[in-house]
Amino acid sequence: MKIAVIGTGYVGLVTGVSLAEIGHRVSCIDVNEEKVAKMQQGISPIYEPGLSELMTKNINERRLSFTSNHREGIEQADVIYIAVGTPEKSDGSADLSFVVQAAHNIVDCINHNVIVVIKSTVPVGTNDMISEIMQCHLTSDIEVEVVSNPEFLKEGSAIYDSFHGDRIVIGANSERAASLIEQINQPFQVPVFKTDIKSAEMIKYASNAFLATKISFINEISNICELLGADIENVSNGMGMDQRIGSQFLKAGIGYGGSCFPKDTKALIQIAGNVEYEFELLKGVVNVNKKQQGILIGKLNDCLPNILGKKIAVLGLAFKPNTDDLRESASILVTTELIKQGAEVVAYDPIAMTNAKSILDPLVQYAVSIEEAIENSDAALILTDWDEFKNVDLAVFKKMKKPLVIDGRNCFSVKEMERNGIDYYSIGRSVPA
C-alpha cells in the first residue's frame, strides 16, 4: 500500500517508520524543512529507542522517504494519515488549526480517491468536520472518506508499542474503509477494535483521562499516607495485586506531564462543557495534578527555608524516562520556581538537555553527569526516574555540602538512604526517624 503521513512528530514519524517496516511504501511530509533535511539523511529529530535504526533500514530499503512538499508526498498515496499536533488553546480546548490546515493541504493536492486517517487526538465530531471541509473544497468527483484511528503509543517505548500495542481502534462510517485500515495494520498483529467514528474519538480522550485519574488518585493517597505514617509503595503494591485495579499507573510522584495527559484532560473538560456537562471528577484530577507538581518545592522549603544563593541540583528534566520531551514537564515549573526564589540551579538529564536549553536558557547551568551536578550542592531534587539515577552508587551524594536528596519519583529505599547518611525525603513515605 502507498501511504502518506502528514506531520512527523513523535506520532507521525513513529507511524511512518512502523508502517514502512511492515512493508508499506511511506512518504512522510512535514512543514519543518530543517527537520525534513535531517530525516532525509536518516537522522531522527527526536529521541525514541529503536527509532533511528528502523528509520535508516527502511530508507535504505526504499520504503521510506521524507519531503516538505505536500504534493510530492500525497500524489501517489492510497491512504493519507494526519498526525499533526493538537495543542492546548488558552481556554483548555484543543487547537485544531493544524489538522484543518492538513485537510486543506490534502484537497489542494489530490486528484484521486483516498482514505484520510486521523491519528491526531481530536475532539468528538472533528473527523466529521474535517470530512465536510474536504468535501466542500473538492471540485471534481473525487471521493474522500475519513477514518478515525487514534494513537496510543507511549513516548519512550513508541516503536515497541507499535508492534505490541493492546489494541488498534478504527472508527469508520463504512465497513470498506474500516477493513482497509485493518488490512494495512494486520502485520502488526495487534487486536483491532472497530467502532463508529465518534466513539473512536472518545475512546482516546477517555483512556487518557482515566490514566490521569489513576495518577492523581494515587498521589492524593500518597499525601494522606505521609500524614498517617503509611508507606505509599506498600499501599500501591497491595492495591495493584487486585486485578480489577491493576498495578500500572499507581506510582506516586510529582504528577503527570508530557504532551498528552495535561492537554487531553483539559480538552475533555471542554468537550463535555460544550454539551453543558460539567465533568467534576476530571476537574479534580487536573487540580490535584497542579498541586502535586509543586510538592517538591514545599519539601525543599521545609528543609531549607531560604534558598537564595544556594546551589540546587536538578536531576532529570524530561517528563518521564527514555524521552527527550519536556512538554508540560514538572521540571520546568520546579526549575522556574527555584530560580524565582534565588537559587543557583545546576541541571542534568541523560537525554533531554538539548531540548531543555531552548526553554530554560539562560536560567540554569547544565552538568555533564550526576556527579558534576551535585558537587558542592545544598540539595538535589530528583524529577525524572531515569535508570541512571536509580542505579547510581549512593556514595556519590557525599560530594554534596551535606547530603540532602528530595526525590519526586521514589527512586531509592528510605532505609538504604538512611544507612548511607543521606537526609532523604520522597513521596508518600515516612521520613526516617
How many alpha carbons fall within 13 Å on the CB side of residue 415? 1
Residue 6 in contact with ligand NAD, rule: CB under 6 A = yes
Q: Closest Cα partner for 171 from 206, 198, 141, 204?
A: 198
Residue 101 in contact with ligand NAD, rule: CB under 6 A = yes
Annotated catalytic residue within 28, 260, 303, 411 = 260
For this structure, is 260 an active site residue? yes
Task: Select the residue interacting with ligand NAD from 116, 134, 153, 180 (CB under 6 A).
Answer: 153
Return the number of the residue (31 or 396) whose C-beta is nearest ligand NAD: 31
Query: Which of the stretches 3-11, 232-240, 281-289, 336-344 binds ligand NAD when contact is defined by CB under 6 A?
Result: 3-11
Sorted by sequence, the CB contacts under 8 Å of residue 417 that are 6+ apart come out as 394, 405, 424, 432
Task: Select the residue interacting with ligand NAD from 1, 2, 22, 31 (CB under 6 A).
Answer: 31
Residue 44 in contact with ligand NAD, rule: CB under 6 A = no
Going across the sheet that includes 404-407, the strands are 365-366, 344-348, 311-315, 379-382, 404-407, 423-425
In whole angstroms, the minimum distance from the beta carbon of 20 to ligand NAD comes to 17
How many of the chain's residues bind ligand NAD (CB under 6 A)? 27
Residue 338 in contact with residue 312, Cβ under 8 Å?
Answer: yes
Task: Select the residue interacting with ligand NAD from 59, 84, 212, 356 (CB under 6 A).
Answer: 84
In whole angstroms, the minimum distance from the beta carbon of 416 to ligand NAD comes to 33
Return the number of the residue (8 or 213) whose C-beta is nearest ligand NAD: 8
Residues 301 to 320 in contact with ligand NAD, rule: CB under 6 A:
none
Residue 9 in contact with ligand NAD, rule: CB under 6 A = yes
φ/ψ (deg, to 5) at 397: -70, -10
Residue 222 in contact with ligand NAD, rule: CB under 6 A = no
Residue 102 in contact with ligand NAD, rule: CB under 6 A = yes
Residue 121 in contact with ligand NAD, rule: CB under 6 A = yes
Residues 241 to 280 in contact with ligand NAD, rule: CB under 6 A:
259-260
Task: Select the residue interacting with ligand NAD from 21, 145, 155, 407 (CB under 6 A).
Answer: 155
Return the number of the residue (165 or 428) whose C-beta is nearest ligand NAD: 165
The neighbouring-strand residues paired with 117 are 81, 147
Q: Which residues are annotated as catalytic? A: 260
Judged by the rule CB under 6 A, the positions of this chain that interact with ligand NAD are 6-12, 29-32, 35, 83-86, 98, 101-102, 105, 120-121, 151, 153, 155, 259-260
